[in-house]
Structure 1
Amino acid sequence: MLLCFCLFVIFTAAGTVRNQEFAVEAVTGYYDGLMESFFPSYRNKSQPVYGTVLSRMIGIYREEVNPLLQYSSDYRKTTGEDLVSGEYYYFEDDEDRDNSVEEVAEGTKKFNLKNWEKPAYLRKYIYQIDSTTMVTNSEINGKELLGMDLSLSKSDSPQVLIYHTHGSEQYKDSRPGSKSDTVIGVGDELTRELKERGVSVIHDRKVYDMRNGKEERSKAYDYAANAIEKYLKKYPGIQVIIDLHRDGVNENTHLVTTQNGKKMAQIMFFNGVSRTASNGNLSYLKNPNKKTNLAFSLQLQAEAMKKYPGFTRKIYIKGYRYNLHYRGRSLLVEVGAQNNTVKQAKASMSLLAELLNNVLY
């Protein structure tokens, strides 16, 4: 009876979720689990067959199917007007979070490989997943992501591109009109630190969120995308693309850490998964490099935990793409916030450069 119920739940999910990829993954997982569990038990008689099969099915339901049901939507109620509203075109500007970003708990700042291989642990202690999106356990398989080889060999031709979708972002003591006091100046510092380590870097210092002296954030990702494509055409050897931002937080939140005896701004890695809870996979925002993007940020986070606990905040995952699709080793980094000083933000680049060098080279 329970077997029939579980099958009913799985196929119901396939009919209600707009993008059926999740349901297919769940059914495939169920089938694999059934075959793996049933036959060894049948041959070995080590335990009752029904006990093994039902345990595996319950596990699959909890880990894969239940999250899908939570975020399912009835798209017969979606109107044409909803699908062509402005938010579907100028959405990638939105890095705002639906709540404050959680800090990594003090007791989990030590890296433990066995823990990091468990999706449940990553969900609770390492990732913060925005309520407007969803991520399956197979996507945050720590063992797979941490085991992915992202290494490169250093070259004289440019391998790293640093740019700023929101280049006008400033800090609390930024001097008006001074580019070096904005997030672009922080990019200057990261460029210098990487070059000192023998990494060939291109730093794009253009501002994409201002036009004719006015803020133009709604199209900033489009403008930045055009620039990225030009750089990749000119320097096809670029393998790493870093978009440096400055976060905005509640004034009572202070993103400051002391590392190597210096006060630094905490940083946060930000991933987009091209999927929202209400619309499923965004087919018009495909990202063939999503898994590598997730591996890149998780490996950097792990490296930070090993050497500089407290330097990074939780990795934030949201539903859009944020121009991370151009290369697998693409990274969006939030460096401090509006209430950090320029000095604190620039100081943190020495550690970020070290983490990048350790993961990539």
Structure 2
Amino acid sequence: MGKKDRPKKNRYRAVIAIVIAGIVFLTFPRAEERNFRELLTENAELELLNALCPVIAAAGDNGRLSVSGWIFPFLGYQSKTKTAQLAQENSDMVEKILLAEGRDEYTGMSGDDTEKNAPTDGRNLSLEELARLENEQAGGQKSGQNGVAGGSETDGSSAASDREGQSSGGIETRPGDSQNETGDTANSSGIGDFTAFLPEKQRTYNWSELTSYDALVREFYAIDPATAADETQLNQKALLGRVLSVQKRTDDQPQILIYHTHSQETFADSIPGNAQTGIMGVGEVLAEILRKQYGYNVMHHMGQYDVEKRDYAYSNSLPALEAILKENPSIEVVIDLHRDEVAEGTRLVTEIGGKKMARFMFFNGLSRTRRLGDIDSLPNKNIADNLAFSFQMQVLCNEYYPGLTRRIYLKGYRYNMHLKQRYLLIEMGAQTNTYEECMNSCVPLAQMLDLELSGKTDFTLDPEKG
């Protein structure tokens, strides 16, 4: 063979070597569990293979590659097989995510078999440290671990709640009955006919002391070990710089939607078979307070999406919610009201104005887990507003009613929070609370909602960070 033919032959050999190496790489056994980033890489490899095959095959048909008779049909088969395999793995992973999301958003138990042994980056507080900080924030209650950790909290009053009870403001209720949409009595405690007085602030935040990500997390958040947040989301400007107030409507169109992804959640003294003594009954109390005391048009959706089991509850409820919002474009605020589940020895209770109230928690989904990264199948363009809404509500509650709320909990899935900018997922007490404790908490909750939605807030950012 002449010297002129050698470079051409070497090029053909190099092409064949690259193709064979690609086949070996693509067919080499992989771990059964694959995350989305790995699948994305494999999809890129597959696209390159599909792009190269026709070119190389054409060269073979022109007599330039004698191996085309056996290698290229095999490459085509591998390409189709890989496409089907990746499609199935993507589908399986999405199915796992929807199952885990719907199973629960409880803060004391994961229920998520896709995120076991998730690593941490050191930003998450230990359960013991989180418990200590929450107890200090609540005014020094004597307790073991908090509800997030599954420990015990007191069922009496704290120093903070004693101060609240002695303040010039507080909560006052008068007997009466509240009627829901079906005409049934919404509660038996007479909280529907009430007068709420705004108390004096018990504290005011000095935002110059909370400029860092770590400071904000320590003061306001509990981050589930399976997810991760960062400084781009949790910073003063992002959380306090958004205006989320609304104009009250003068017509009869609904402005606030309250519903329950997990409608079957009950309390320690709920009556079996009586939905009005479970979380849906508490939702009607909150709706009535917002209607009668504050003049909001509230729709309380009583759909049930977890009757047989909790699996897929969020994806089950999504079509109905989308239909409601499409039929009622006037709705600007959505509240998904739940109750948490904690260890049986835990009591999420504080006392305000002589009344025992269930402590509640604002909850956010980030559509991101440590192991999977950003979950493309659960997009949420409203995450920034969702986070700002819950944060501003938390600040108000902490300033007016220290100890009433638990830390904002951040977890990895979406929880239908993409539907609206002003979307709150609230964990009202837990299964160890009484129905009355949860009803009582609806009064200050509605009060803080009105402050937020009316724009009656005075958040002052640090001038250097704002």
How far apart in 2 are the matches of 1:345 and 1:289? 29
Q: 1:147 to 1:166 in 2, by over 3 A?
A: same
Q: Does structure 2 conserve the Cα–Cα contact (< 8 Å) formed by 1:117 and 1:143?
A: no
How far apart in 1 are the matches of 2:236 and 2:377? 28
> Among 248, 258, 274, which residue is 2:351 paired with?
258
Is residue 95 of structure 1 aligned with residue 101 of structure 2?
no
Q: Does structure 2 conserve the Cα–Cα contact (< 8 Å) formed by 1:266 and 1:335?
A: yes
Q: Does structure 1 conserve the Cα–Cα contact (< 8 Å) formed by 2:137 and 2:403?
A: no
Q: CA deviation at 1:89?
A: 3.1
Find the counterpart in structure 2 of residue 84 from structure 1: 92
1:14-93 equivalence runs, <5 A = 18=37, 81=89, 84-85=92-93, 86-93=95-102
Instruction: Render the CA deviation track for 1:269-303: whole Å, top value 9, x for unaligned.
Output: 00000000001001111100000000000000000
How far apart in 1 are the matches of 2:241 and 2:331? 22
Look up the equivalent residue of 2:326 and give its one-letter code.
K
How far apart in 1 are the matches of 2:287 and 2:324? 16
Find the counterpart in structure 1 of residue 262 from structure 2: 166
Q: Does structure 2 conserve the Cα–Cα contact (< 8 Å) formed by 1:116 and 1:143?
A: no
Q: 1:150 to 1:349 in 2, by over 3 A?
A: same
Find the counterpart in structure 2 of residue 114 from structure 1: 208
Find the counterpart in structure 2 of residue 340 from structure 1: 433
Look up the equivalent residue of 1:359 and give its one-letter code.
E
Max radius of gyration: which structure? 2
Q: Does structure 1 conserve the Cα–Cα contact (< 8 Å) formed by 2:340 and 2:430?
A: yes
How far apart in 1 are the matches of 2:358 and 2:204? 21
Look up the equivalent residue of 1:120 and give its one-letter code.
D
Look up the equivalent residue of 2:98 and give its one-letter code.
Y
3-state SS in 2 of match to 1:334 = strand
Q: CA deviation at 1:121?
A: 1.2
Is residue 143 of structure 1 aligned with residue 222 of structure 2?
no
> Among 199, 206, 220, which residue is 2:303 paired with?
206
Q: CA deviation at 1:91?
A: 2.2
List gaps (5 residues or longer) in structure 1: 1-16, 20-77
Q: CA deviation at 1:261?
A: 2.0
3-state SS in 2 of match to 1:106 = helix
Instruction: Render the CA deviation track for 1:195-249: whole Å, top value 9, x for unaligned.
Output: 0210110000122101xxxx22112112211111111111101110000001100
Q: CA deviation at 1:98?
A: 6.1
Q: How many residues align?
A: 284
Q: Does structure 1 conserve the Cα–Cα contact (< 8 Å) formed by 2:134 and 2:406?
A: yes
Instruction: Render the CA deviation track for 1:80-105: whole Å, top value 9, x for unaligned.
Output: 75871542232212313467784634
Find the counterpart in structure 2 of residue 323 from structure 1: 416
Q: CA deviation at 1:108?
A: 7.8
**In percent, how many aligned pairs have the same letter?**
42
Q: Quick check: which one's helix share is greater?
A: 1
Q: CA deviation at 1:147?
A: 2.1
How far apart in 1 are the matches of 2:304 and 2:290? 22
Q: 1:255 to 1:108 in 2, by over 3 A?
A: closer
Q: 1:257 to 1:108 in 2, by over 3 A?
A: closer
Find the counterpart in structure 2 of residue 357 from structure 1: 450
3-state SS in 2 of match to 1:104 = helix
Q: Does structure 2 conserve the Cα–Cα contact (< 8 Å) formed by 1:168 and 1:182?
A: yes
Q: CA deviation at 1:144?
A: 2.7
Q: CA deviation at 1:328?
A: 0.6
1:308-319 equivalence runs, <5 A = 308-319=401-412
Instruction: Render the CA deviation track for 1:154-213: whole Å, top value 9, x for unaligned.
Output: 013211000000001000000111111010000000001100210110000122101xxx
> Among 218, 227, 230, which residue is 2:311 paired with?
218
Q: Does structure 1 conserve the Cα–Cα contact (< 8 Å) formed by 2:262 and 2:304?
A: yes
How far apart in 2 are the matches of 1:175 and 1:84? 39
**TM-score, structure 1 normalization:** 0.74
Q: Does structure 2 conserve the Cα–Cα contact (< 8 Å) formed by 1:111 and 1:302?
A: no
How far apart in 1 are the matches of 2:452 and 2:328? 22
Q: CA deviation at 1:250?
A: 0.6
Find the counterpart in structure 2 of residue 178 from structure 1: 274
Q: CA deviation at 1:359?
A: 0.5
Farther off after superposition, 181-190 or 256-265: 256-265
How far apart in 1 are the matches of 2:393 and 2:137? 19
Alpha-carbon RMSD across the aligned residues, in angstroms, is 2.3
Q: Does structure 1 conserve the Cα–Cα contact (< 8 Å) formed by 2:254 and 2:328?
A: yes
Is residue 276 of structure 1 aligned with residue 369 of structure 2?
yes
Q: Does structure 2 conserve the Cα–Cα contact (< 8 Å) formed by 1:91 and 1:218?
A: yes
Farther off after superposition, 218-227 or 132-141: 218-227
Is residue 131 of structure 1 aligned with residue 225 of structure 2?
yes
Q: Does structure 2 conserve the Cα–Cα contact (< 8 Å) formed by 1:108 and 1:125?
A: no
Instruction: Render the CA deviation track for 1:140-159: whole Å, top value 9, x for unaligned.
Output: 01233112100100013211
How far apart in 2 are the matches of 1:132 and 1:95? 12
How far apart in 1 are the matches of 2:97 and 2:236? 31
How far apart in 2 are the matches of 1:104 and 1:143? 24
Q: CA deviation at 1:116?
A: 4.0
Find the counterpart in structure 1 of residue 158 from structure 2: none
Find the counterpart in structure 2 of residue 248 from structure 1: 341
Q: 1:116 to 1:296 in 2, by over 3 A?
A: farther
Find the counterpart in structure 2 of residue 70 from structure 1: none
Instruction: Render the CA deviation track for 1:36-81: whole Å, top value 9, x for unaligned.
Output: xxxxxxxxxxxxxxxxxxxxxxxxxxxxxxxxxxxxxxxxxx9975
Find the counterpart in structure 1 of residue 330 from structure 2: 237
How far apart in 2 are the matches of 1:343 and 1:236? 34
